[in-house]
Structure 1
Amino acid sequence: MSGSNGFTTCLWFDGDAATAADYYVSVFKDGKIGRTGYYNEAGPGRAGDVMVVEFEINGQKFVALNGGPQFPFTEAISFQIHCADETESDYYYDELTKDGGQESACGWVKDKFGVSWQVIPPGAIDLITDPDPGRANRATAAMMKMKKLDVAQMRRAADAG
């Protein structure tokens, strides 16, 4: 289709959209803040309060919306971060879990705003999708026991057959 400019992901916050946008552009080094829109007399928020903040991280466009408490984040939606190396993987995992973020399972983390991320070190996807079903099964079984993904341990498990 002509005229398409891709997708923009809208993240619904309960009053802290600007703080969240600032946080994400600080975590992702290429991040940048775009336009900020404010509620006016037409509502539904209080006139002058931040309604939306546009931002971009890793080339992906987002809008942080101050929509209220009706729709909290769940793990049903997550963002995958495909890391170039272990250092980058460690960085994102550590940054997204500090200050109230939480570890989950299989490389998933929830940041301090409740947004879920999958921090994927290089080689992890190759191991769990190995064309040899035995290798893939052993790597996946090892991964299922992990919080932070350890590709070397997954590789050892895959090779153990």
Structure 2
Amino acid sequence: MTLQPQKVSPFLWFNDQAEEAMDFYTSTFPDSKQLRVARYGETGPGKPGSVMTADFELFGQRFTALNGGPHFAFTPAISFVIHCEGQAEIDEYWDKLAAGGTIMQCGWLTDKFGITWQVVPNNLAQLLSNPDPATAARVMKAMMSMKKLEIAPLEQARDQTV
């Protein structure tokens, strides 16, 4: 299968979990698909026959996962944002991605592979950039008190009258 390259696409360096990560992400996100697995040959550097790269799509965005060894690790300095329609969607992604991972603050989590995600409601930027500084501050304060984001308290902070 010949894949036409995207102009920009994420390339994720794993120690030896590229195929497992692809399986997990394509089972977590609807409208995703596994595209191709390439294996190391006799010239290496990986064990011949082991997975070198795994290509997959999430919502039309192509990703490549590489089994490159333990030389590099993921950090929260790079994250993927999931914009969610409502609380049920936030809850679903949060529960799946947080399993075996690390929960952080303000809708951030690191999954079991070390990839950092932000699971946020679609209207988060609008809530945080309210033209009234006092309203924006209330929303920010509410968000800062949360791990998983809850839409109702954020909207209550927006609607609160002083």
| TM-score, L = length of structure 2 | 0.91
Give the aligned partner of residue 129 of structure 1: 129
Alignment of 1:51-66 (within 5 A): 51-66=52-67
Question: SS where residue 80 of structure 1 aligns?
Answer: strand
Give the aligned partner of residue 82 of structure 1: 83
CA deviation profile, 1:6-48 (whole Å, cap 9, x unmatched): 3221111110100100000000011101111111122211111
How far apart are the structure 1 equivalents of 2:35 and 2:46?
21
User: How many angstroms does 1:4 deviate by?
Assistant: 7.3
Q: Which amino acid aligns with 1:81?
A: I
Question: SS where residue 10 of structure 2 aligns?
Answer: strand
Give the aligned partner of residue 42 of structure 1: 43
Give the aligned partner of residue 148 of structure 2: 148
CA deviation profile, 1:55-94 (whole Å, cap 9, x unmatched): 0012211001001111111100100000112111111011
Identity score, percent: 47
User: How many angstroms does 1:5 deviate by?
Assistant: 3.1
Q: Which amino acid aligns with 1:83?
A: C
Q: Which moved more, 1:121-130 or 1:64-73?
A: 121-130
Give the aligned partner of residue 20 of structure 1: 21
Runs of 5+ unmatched residues, structure 1? none
Question: SS where residue 64 of structure 1 aligns?
Answer: strand
Q: Which amino acid aligns with 1:106?
A: C
User: How many angstroms does 1:156 deviate by?
Assistant: 2.0
CA RMSD of aligned residues (A): 1.5
Length, aligned pairs only: 158
Give the aligned partner of residue 110 of structure 2: 110
How far apart are the structure 1 equivalents of 2:71 and 2:140?
36
**Contact 1:7–1:61 under 8 Å retained in 2:** no
Note closer, same or farther for the CA distance 1:87–1:7 as it changes in structure 2 (3 Å cut). Answer: same
How far apart are the structure 2 equivalents of 1:74 and 1:86?
27
